[in-house]
Amino acid sequence: KAGVTQTPRYLIKTRGQQVTLSCSPISGHRSVSWYQQTPGQGLQFLFEYFSETQRNKGNFPGRFSGRQFSNSRSEMNVSTLELGDSALYLCASSSDAVGTATTGELFFGEGSRLTVL
Amino acid sequence: AQSVTQLDSHVSVSEGTPVLLRCNYSSSYSPSLFWYVQHPNKGLQLLLKYTSAATLVKGINGFEAEFKKSETSFHLTKPSAHMSDAAEYFCVVSDLGGNQFYFGTGTSLTVIP
């Protein structure tokens, strides 16, 4: 079973640009969540999507947005990039099936490392 | 509201000695608790999870954790550290619906040969 796939793995942008990151969840998983990881702030929750609807949202400015497609793939977009947006962006998928061995477990991709110059 | 506190930001042990990574949680109901491990430039991998079954939970790679409600703790242990255990460890609690997860700040484990 293929794991969570994130693309691109590495990218470099300059201030003011925008970026789109992609996440393909494990087959059958309908929940996709996004996290920002930085040395100073640790892991911070961005948002979570379930069946194309944003179900939860963290405390990030409106420059950070996301969406989920009917095949559960998700994208996140950051507009007007700032130096502080440099981070590892992690995507995780989970199953909504109750009572399975992996209920409630998050499966993470390897992340997209964004550098803003 | 749910939260976790990892009591040590860095832990250093010698190879072959026991590992103890401490985590306290706060939850208004019986929580689901997890430990994840992250190796450099990698995503997070589940080590083990507690979901109100046995209080002593065994995970992968010889790790285990004990849920202690009276102490609101979920400490991670391993009897004998291996060099490959060097990584960042995260304690996590989920909300009642299992839809949102709250991460601790992480504990960096160093294993000295």
- What letters, b where the CB count within 10 A reaches 16 and e where it falls short, cover B5-32? ebeeeebebeeeeebebbbbbebeeebb
Q: Residue A4 carries which DSSP code?
A: -
Q: Which residues of B touch A (CB under 8 A)?
A: 32, 34, 36, 41-46, 49, 51, 90, 92, 94, 98-103, 105-106
Cβ distance of A42 and B105 shorter than 8 Å = yes
Interface check for A11 against chain B (CB to CB < 8 A): the answer is no
Distance CA B102, CA B83 (A): 28
Q: What angle do CA A50, A72, A81 make, to 5 degrees?
A: 85
- Unique residue bearing structure tokens 């992480």: B106
- Strand (E) or helix (H) holding A108: strand A107-108
Residue B79 has which token pair?
A: 């009897």
* Residue A18 Cα, gap to closest chain B Cα (Å): 23
pLDDT single digits (tens) B46-90: 999 998 778 899 999 999 999 999 999 999 999 999 999 999 999
- Flag if A108 and B32 touch (Cβ within 8 Å): no
CA-closest candidate to residue B89, choices B34, B41, B50, B52: B34
Whether residue B45 contacts residue B36, with contact meaning beta carbons closer than 8 Å, is answered with yes
**Residue of chain A whose alpha carbon sits nearest to that of B95:** A104
Show the CA angle centred on residue B85, arms to residues B82 and B91, nearest 5°.
140
Q: Is residue B98 over pLDDT 70? A: no
**Helix H or strand E segment including B87:** strand B87-94
Q: Which residue in A90, A104, A109 is closest to B98 by CB distance?
A: A104
Instruction: Reply yes or no: is the peptide bond before residue B18 cis, omega within 30 of 0.
Output: no
Distance from CA of A113 to the nearest CA of B (A): 9
- Please state whether beta strands B101-103 and B87-94 pair in parallel, antiparallel, or not at all (unpaired): antiparallel
Instruction: Provide CB contacts within 8 A for B105, sequence distance 6+.
Output: A42, B6, B9
Contact flag A104-B32 (C-beta cutoff 8 Å): yes
Shortest alpha-carbon distance between residue B95 and chain A (Å): 10
pLDDT > 90: percent of chain B: 73
Residue of B nearest to A109 (CA): B43
Please report the number of interchain residue pairs, chain A to chain B, with beta-carbon separation below 8 angstroms.
55
Compute the distance between CA of residue A58 and CA of residue B90 in angstroms, rounded to an integer: 19
Angle (CA) A36-A39-A40 rounded to 5° is 95
CA A104 to chain B, closest CA, distance in angstroms equals 6
Share of chain B above pLDDT 70, in %: 96
The answer to whether residue A60 neighbours chain B at the CB level (below 8 Å) is: no
pLDDT at A94 over 70: yes
Residues A36-78: tens digit of each pLDDT: 999 888 889 999 999 999 988 999 999 999 999 999 999 999 9
Residue B33, H or E segment:
strand B32-38
* Residue A30 forms contact with B (CB below 8 Å): no
For residues A35, A62, A26 and B92, what is the CA-based torsion angle, rounded to 10 degrees?
30
Question: Given the DSSP bridges, would you call strands A5-7 and A19-24 parallel, antiparallel or unpaired?
Answer: antiparallel
Mean of per-residue pLDDT scores for chain A:
91
